[in-house]
Structure 1
C-alpha cells in the first residue's frame, strides 16, 4: 500500500499558496484493507474513505469509463492493480494531476509542473471531453489564477467548445452547476469565469440571457464602455474588488438582463429594461436553483437599480415605496446589499471605477429615518389593524419629506 497527496494540495504548495483541503490516493490497497485500518467508507459510487483520526478523504486509485450523459455518467474501477499514473490521467488539468509521497517526491507524468511555470491550464487527456462539468471547472480555475497570469490552452478551449456544442452541458444537474458557478463567483476575478465560458460557447448554453448582452450598446454618456456585456463583466469585477458576498455578486451578474430584449431600432436606449428583465432573472434563478436570498436580491436589484441611481431625485412617496419593497424594517441587511449592488453598477463603467456614490449614504439615511418612526404614539391614539398600518405609512412619509428637504439644503 502506497499513499500519495494529490491534486489541489500539490498544485497550491508548488504555487506557494495556502493549502486548505488535502486529498489522498491509496495505491495497491483493497477496500477490506482500508476498513481493517479503521477507515470509514463514504459515498456509494466509488471507494472513498475518511481517515479515522484526521477525517481527510482517502480514495483508492481508480480508472473510469464513460457510460452515460452528464457529470454522473461514469463507471469506476478500483483495484490494487491500478497504478498512480492511471489514476492521475483521469483528472481534468495537468496542474491537478500531480502527486507527492510523504517525502514530497513529485510524481508528474503529465507535465503539470511545467504548465504551472508557464501559467497554462491544459487538459490531461482527450477523456477531458467526456465530463461536461469540466467546462465550468476550467473556467473557475481561470478566474482563480487570473491574477497569476494563467490562461486556458488553445487546445483545451477547443475541447471545451466541442463539449458546449455537444449537448452534454444540458445534462448537468442544477445543483452541480450552481456549486461551480457560486464558487467561481467568489473568486478574486469572477468576470474571467464568465469570459472563458463565453469564449468556448458555454455561456450561450448555460446562461443565454447573459450571453445576449454582448454586442448590445448603451448610451455612451452613462456607459463609456458602451457594450452591455462588458459593463456586466465590469460590475462583477467591482463586486469582487470590494469583497461583496455571493448574493451581491449574483445580483450584479443578472441586473441588466432586460437590455438583451431591447429591439435594435431602440438602441442604445433601454426603456423599461428593469421590468422586462425580471422574467429573465427569474428563469436563470430557477434554472440553477439558486438559494432563496440570491434569488430575491437579484430580482430586487434588477427591478430597482435605476431607483438607486436616481435616489436623490426620488419623491418622498417613491422613496417610501422603495423602502417598503425591501421590508427595511425587518430585513435591513437586504437593503444594504441592494445599495452596494447599485454602487458596484455605478462603478462598473470604463473610467468611472473610482467615482463617488452619494446615493448610498442618502439611501441608508432614508432607511434609518423610516425605521425611526415610533409605533407606540399611534397605538396610544387608538390606531389598530389596517388603520395602524396606514397611519404608520403617513408618519414615515412625513419623516421622509423632512429628510429629503434637509438633505437638499
Structure 2
C-alpha cells in the first residue's frame, strides 16, 4: 500500500496558498485492506475512506470510463492494479494532477508544476471532454486564480467550446451548477467565472439571464463602461472586495440589473423601471437552479430597491421607513446592511469609479439603526394596542429617522 497526497492540497502548497482540505489516493490496496487498517468507508459510487484519526479522505486509485451523457455517466474501476499515473490521468487539469509521496517527493506526469509556474490552466487529456462539469470547474478555478495571473490554455478553451456546442452542459444538475456558481461568487474575482464561460460560448447555457446583459448599452454619464454585462462583472468583483467569501451578497450583486436585458430597444440606453422588470428573471433563475430562498429574497429586494438607496438623501423620513419595512428590515435587520453593501458594489462597480465614496450606505445604516432603537415597550406602556399601537410605533420610528438625519 502506497499513499499520496493529491489534488488541491498539493497545488495550493506549490502556489504558497493556505492549506485547505487534504485528499489522498491509495495505490496497491483493496477495500478490505483499508477496513482492516481501521479506515471507515464512506464512498457510495467508488471506494472512499476516512482516516481513523484525522478524518481526512483516502480514495483507492481508480479509473473512469464514460458510459452515458452528463456529469454522472461514468463506470468506475478501482483495484490494486490501478497505478498512480492511471489515477492522475483521469483528473481535470494538470495543476490538479500532481501527487506528493509521504517522503515529500512530487509525482507530476502531466507537467502540472510547470503549468503552475506559467500560470496556465490546462486539461490533462482528451477525457476532459467527457465531463461537462469541467467547463464550470474551469470557470470557477479562473474566478479563484485570475488574480494570480492565470489564463486558460487555448486548446483547453477549444475543448470547452466543443462541449458547449454539443449541448453537454444541459445535462448538469441544478445543484451542481449552483455549487460551482456559489464557489465562484465566494472567490476573489467572480467576473472571471462569467468571462470564462462567455469565452467558451457556455454562459448562455448556464446563466441565460446574465448572458442577455452583454451588449445592452447604458447611459455613459452614469456607466463609463457602457455595456451592462461588463458592469455586472465589475459589480461582482466589487462585492467580493466589500464582502469577501459571501455568496449571498455575491448573488444579489450578480442579479441586481437583470431587468436591463428586458428594456425595450426604443428606450435604450435609458432603463426606466428596470428594477421592477428584474424581479421575474431573478425568480426564474433562482427556481431553475434551486438557489436557497435567502439568496432569492435578498436578490429580489436589491433589484427592487437599489435606485432608492442611491437617492436615500432625497427620500422623506416616511419613505425611508417604508423602504426598511418592505425589506423586512425590522424583523431581519441584517438585510439592510446587506442591501447597503450590494448598492455600494453597484455604485463602485463602474469603470474608473472603484474608489468613489458611497455615503448612501452609511446613511441607510444610520437611519435604520435610529428606527430600530425605538422601544416598542415604551409605546405599549401608553396603553396602546392593535392598530393604534402599530401606528404609534410607525410614527415614532419615522420621527427617529428624521432626528437622525438632522
TM-score for the superposition, normalised by structure 1 = 0.96
Displacement of 1:381: 3.4
Counterpart in the other structure of 1:393 = 394
Counterpart in the other structure of 2:107 = 107
Q: Secondary structure at 1:145's aligned position in 2?
A: helix
Q: Secondary structure at 2:20's aligned position in 1?
A: coil
Displacement of 1:403: 4.0
Gaps of 5+ in 1: none
Q: Secondary structure at 1:350's aligned position in 2?
A: coil
Instruction: State how far apart, in whole Å, the 2-side matches of 1:171 and 1:383 are.
Output: 59
1:37 matched to 2:37: yes
1:117 matched to 2:117: yes
Counterpart in the other structure of 2:344 = 343
Q: Secondary structure at 2:390's aligned position in 1?
A: helix
Instruction: State how far apart, in whole Å, the 1-side matches of 2:3 and 2:372 are.
Output: 60
Displacement of 1:402: 4.1
Counterpart in the other structure of 1:171 = 171
Counterpart in the other structure of 1:254 = 255
Counterpart in the other structure of 2:196 = 196
Instruction: State how far apart, in whole Å, the 2-side matches of 1:370 and 1:17 are.
Output: 44
Counterpart in the other structure of 1:93 = 93
| CA deviation vs aligned residue, 1:96-145 (integer Å, no higher than 9, x gap) | 11112111222111111121121110111111111111111111111211
Displacement of 1:148: 1.7
Displacement of 1:377: 4.1
Instruction: State how far apart, in whole Å, the 2-side matches of 1:6 and 1:368 are.
Output: 49
Q: Secondary structure at 2:218's aligned position in 1?
A: coil
Counterpart in the other structure of 1:128 = 128
Instruction: State how far apart, in whole Å, the 2-side matches of 1:99 and 1:343 are.
Output: 43
Instruction: State how far apart, in whole Å, the 1-side matches of 2:381 and 2:37 are.
Output: 72
- Count of equivalent residues: 405
Displacement of 1:357: 1.1
Counterpart in the other structure of 1:63 = 63
Contact residue 235 and residue 348 of structure 2 kept, 8 A: yes
Displacement of 1:179: 1.4
Instruction: State how far apart, in whole Å, the 2-side matches of 1:332 and 1:47 are.
Output: 46
Displacement of 1:380: 3.4
Counterpart in the other structure of 1:160 = 160
Displacement of 1:64: 0.5
Instruction: State how far apart, in whole Å, the 2-side matches of 1:60 and 1:141 are.
Output: 25
Instruction: State how far apart, in whole Å, the 2-side matches of 1:61 and 1:400 are.
Output: 64
Answer with 71-80 or 98-107: which moved more: 98-107
| CA deviation vs aligned residue, 1:347-397 (integer Å, no higher than 9, x gap) | 011111111111112211211222223323432333212332122223323
| CA deviation vs aligned residue, 1:216-252 (integer Å, no higher than 9, x gap) | 1111111111111111111111112223422111100
Q: Which residues of 2 match residues 297-376 of structure 1 at below 5 A?
A: 297-376=298-377
Instruction: State how far apart, in whole Å, the 1-side matches of 2:148 and 2:381 are.
Output: 64
| CA deviation vs aligned residue, 1:293-323 (integer Å, no higher than 9, x gap) | 2111111101100011011111222211101
1:224 matched to 2:224: yes
Q: CA RMSD in A?
A: 1.4
Instruction: State how far apart, in whole Å, the 1-side matches of 2:32 and 2:400 are.
Output: 73
Counterpart in the other structure of 2:212 = 212
Displacement of 1:24: 0.9
Contact residue 243 and residue 249 of structure 2 kept, 8 A: no
Counterpart in the other structure of 2:233 = 233
Instruction: State how far apart, in whole Å, the 1-side matches of 2:27 and 2:373 are.
Output: 66
1:181 matched to 2:181: yes
Instruction: State how far apart, in whole Å, the 2-side matches of 1:75 and 1:121 are.
Output: 26
Instruction: State how far apart, in whole Å, the 2-side matches of 1:376 and 1:203 are.
Output: 53
Instruction: State how far apart, in whole Å, the 2-side matches of 1:395 and 1:113 are.
Output: 64
Q: Secondary structure at 1:68's aligned position in 2?
A: coil
Answer with 286-295 or 372-381: which moved more: 372-381
Q: Secondary structure at 1:219's aligned position in 2?
A: coil
Instruction: State how far apart, in whole Å, the 2-side matches of 1:314 and 1:283 are.
Output: 31
Instruction: State how far apart, in whole Å, the 2-side matches of 1:243 and 1:402 are.
Output: 30
Q: Secondary structure at 1:354's aligned position in 2?
A: coil
Instruction: State how far apart, in whole Å, the 1-side matches of 2:3 and 2:14 are.
Output: 19
Contact residue 98 and residue 106 of structure 2 kept, 8 A: yes
Q: Secondary structure at 1:381's aligned position in 2?
A: coil
Answer with 134-143 or 170-179: which moved more: 170-179
Counterpart in the other structure of 1:78 = 78
Displacement of 1:277: 0.5
Answer with 103-112 or 46-55: which moved more: 103-112
Counterpart in the other structure of 1:8 = 8
Instruction: State how far apart, in whole Å, the 2-side matches of 1:236 and 1:37 are.
Output: 47
Instruction: State how far apart, in whole Å, the 1-side matches of 2:101 and 2:277 are.
Output: 57
Q: Secondary structure at 1:279's aligned position in 2?
A: helix
Instruction: State how far apart, in whole Å, the 2-side matches of 1:48 and 1:107 are.
Output: 21
Instruction: State how far apart, in whole Å, the 2-side matches of 1:88 and 1:121 are.
Output: 16
* Inter-CA distance 376–242: structure 2 relative to 1 (3 Å threshold): closer
